[in-house]
Amino acid sequence: MNKTLLVIITSLFSTFLHAQYANFEASTGGFSFIPTFTSKDPHLIINAGTNDSKRLSFHLLSTIRLSNLTPRGVVFISRYKLVDKKLKVNIGVHLPALQISKDYLVDTFFAQELITSYELSKSVSIGTFYLHGKGKNNDFEANFLAFNTTITKGDFSFVSQLYGLDLDNTYGISETITYKINKKIDVRGFANKTISNGKFNWTLGARYNL
pLDDT, position 3 = 54
Are the C-beta atoms of residues 52 and 44 closer than 8 Å to each other?
no
Mean pLDDT of 114-129: 97
For residues 48 and 161, the model is more confident at 161
Look at residue 31 and tell me whether its pLDDT is greater than 60.
yes
> How far is Cα 32 from Cα 54, in angstroms, rounded to an integer?
25
Strand locations in 136-198 (E)? 141-153, 156-165, 170-180, 185-194
Are the C-beta atoms of residues 156 and 166 closer than 8 Å to each other?
no
Q: Which domains does the chain have, with CATH numbers?
A: 2-205 (2.40.160.40)
- pTM for the model: 0.90
Instruction: Tell me the pLDDT tens digit for each residue of 65-107.
Output: 999 888 899 999 999 999 999 999 999 999 889 898 888 888 9
pLDDT, position 15 = 56
β-partners of residue 89 are 83, 116
> How far is Cα 71 from Cα 91, in angstroms, rounded to an integer?
27
Are the C-beta atoms of residues 175 and 161 closer than 8 Å to each other?
yes
For residues 50 and 178, the model is more confident at 178
> How far is Cα 64 from Cα 81, in angstroms, rounded to an integer?
29
For residues 122 and 15, the model is more confident at 122
> How far is Cα 50 from Cα 22, in angstroms, rounded to an integer?
9
For residues 171 and 52, the model is more confident at 171
Mean pLDDT of 120-135: 97
3-state helix, strand, coil in the chain (%, to 5): 10, 65, 25
> How far is Cα 31 from Cα 44, in angstroms, rounded to an integer?
9
Q: To the nearest whole number, what is the mean pLDDT of the chain?
A: 91
> How far is Cα 9 from Cα 3, in angstroms, rounded to an integer?
10
Look at residue 54 and tell me whether its pLDDT is greater than 60.
yes
- How open is the CA angle 182-202-101, to the nearest 5 degrees? 105
> How far is Cα 34 from Cα 28, in angstroms, rounded to an integer?
17
Look at residue 8 and tell me whether its pLDDT is greater than 70.
no
Look at residue 11 and tell me whether its pLDDT is greater than 90.
no
> How far is Cα 191 from Cα 21, in angstroms, rounded to an integer?
26
